[in-house]
Amino acid sequence: ESGTGPEAPQVPRYVRVNVLKTRVDDVVEFFKRQGFAFLGTAGSVEDLKSLSGKKFLLDLHLPELLVFPPQTDFHDNRLYTSGHIILQDKASCLPAFLLSPSAGSHVIDACAAPGNKTSHLAAILQNKGCIFAFDVDTKRLATMNTMLTRAGVTSFKLAQQDFLTVDPHDPKYSKVKYILLDPSCSGSGNTGPSTTSSAGGSVWLFHGWTLGHGCCPCRDGGPAAAGGGCPQCRAAAGAVWLPAQDPEPRASLPGGAAPGLLHLLRAPGGERGRGARGAAGAGVGLQVLLPGEEQASRCLFLVVAPCAAAGLSAVSCPLCRLVNAFPSWPCRGLAAFPGAECCLRASPADTLTQGFFVAVLERCGEEAAVPRCRR
């Protein structure tokens, strides 16, 4: 998720105040007592860029984030060792902030270790509700357990489990309304678009899903079967978007997370959740964060394919839509697919953060309307 070029500015030291243990004002006072001058809330990214010496600011976008000059080292600071502050890059704070589950919600953190975003989610939830956190890596999970304990996080269930083996119909997940998916680094926050499009067109389809995988709407007798178009059988009418380089499409996904997501999107959602930041508000269902244009588009494809075949675009799909997240964030998704500008990018050069990509998907249709995936 990082990747500073030689000419890129140095990224500041970002400090997230852990509101499970303390308050922003108290932390500000603590650092003032340690000889730092507090300059108030930043007015622009330029303000962050010009920070030097023993000065610090409150971030302009994230209310619980303090900003210090690059390389300020707090690893031995007692606020850090006691879990009162978390050393977390600003871009890495975006997903939980954008997902913004209400206190008491049930949330899945699908690729969770070492747990920075889990602890951020717990802070937003005020430790009320439950975070089902999964990871496959034992060592990272052990680190995560220590970190969450230090941060005072109590509202979580940690599992060493491949997220794709999670059964979304298991009653224990019946109240889940939010999913945060932060898979192993794809570098997609920093690379250019990996898809190319044929000229124009409104049909929005991707290939790469075998018939055996069973999500093809024509196999399911969906609208594509009636001649609307299908990526697998290449019978699409109008423009078809295809990944430019994709010898093994599923390997490039976050552990093949898209099919898992589709299952989750089908899971009974109970009451509707409230909207992610930037969402229109009403009619919000399950919300999902995804890590790159390609993954976002693929996941959308799985849900959207029947609608796309019926002539609807990803953004007008009645089942699931991209949220225009955080409209005031300056750096938007690359034009790799229709609606990509709803997504956020972050980079050292543009936002003075590590590189990152966030897409927010919102389920807005009923389960019954989503075709079954035969696997």
**Does the annotation place 116 within a ligand binding site?**
yes
Q: Which residue in 59, 89, 135, 293 binds ligand SAM (CB under 6 A)? A: 135
Residue 164, interface with ligand SAM (CB under 6 A)? Answer: yes
Per 3-state DSSP, the chain is made up of helix, strand and coil in percentages (nearest 5) of 30, 20, 55
Closest CA to 58 of 43, 73, 46, 74: 43
Q: Select from 76, 78, 96 the least CA-distant residue to 27.
A: 78
Q: What minimum distance in Å lies between the beta carbon of 112 and ligand SAM?
A: 5
Q: What is the Cα–Cα distance from 13 to 117, expressed in whole angstroms?
A: 17
Q: How far apart are CB 65 and ligand SAM at their closest, in Å?
A: 15
x-marked contacts with ligand SAM along 73-112 as a string, rule CB under 6 A: --------------------------------------xx
Print burial letters for 202-221: b (CB count within 10 Å at least 16), e (below 16).
ebbbbbbbeeebebbbbbbe
DSSP 176-201: EEEEE--PSP--TTTS---EEE-SS-
Q: How far is CA 71 from the centre of its chain?
A: 26
With respect to ligand SAM, which residue has the nearer C-beta, 159 or 233? 159
Whether 299 is catalytic is no
Decide if residue 137 touches ligand SAM (CB under 6 A): yes
113 contacts ligand SAM (rule: CB under 6 A): yes
Structure token pair of residue 74: 């707090």
235 binds ligand SAM (CB under 6 A): no
111 belongs to an annotated ligand binding site: yes
Q: Is 115 annotated as a binding residue?
A: yes
Q: Are 52 and 13 in contact (CB under 8 A)?
A: no
Window of 160-168, 204-212, 234-242, 357-365 that interacts with ligand SAM by CB under 6 A: 160-168
Q: Which of 31, 132, 156, 163 is the binder for ligand SAM (CB under 6 A)?
A: 163
According to CB under 6 A, which one of 38, 39, 162, 233 is a site residue for ligand SAM?
162
Q: Which is nearer to ligand SAM, 121 or 303 (CB)?
A: 121
# residues contacting ligand SAM (CB under 6 A)? 20
Q: Any contact of residue 182 with ligand SAM (CB under 6 A)?
A: yes
Distance in angstroms (rounded) separating the CA atoms of residues 237 and 161: 40
Of 185 and 233, CB closest to ligand SAM: 185
**Judged by CB, which is closer to ligand SAM: 176, or 364?**
176
> E strands along 193-343, which residues?
195-197, 241-243, 287-290, 320-322
The neighbour count for residue 187, using CB atoms within 10 Å, is: 13
Is 184 a residue that touches ligand SAM (CB under 6 A)?
A: yes
Task: Name 345's Cβ contacts closer than 8 Å, sequence gap at least 6.
Answer: 189, 331, 332, 333, 334, 351, 355, 356, 357
> Which 244-263 positions form the footprint of ligand SAM (CB under 6 A)?
255
d(CA 264, CA 287): 10
Identify the residue among 84, 106, 117, 321 touching ligand SAM (CB under 6 A).
117
Flag whether 113 is marked binding: yes
Nearest to 144 by CA among 116, 125, 102, 176: 116
Indicate which residue of 130, 307, 320, 343 is catalytic: 307
Residues tagged active-site: 307
Q: Which residues are annotated as a binding site?
A: 111-117, 135, 162, 182
The contact set with ligand SAM (CB under 6 A) reads 111-117, 134-137, 140, 162-164, 182-185, 255
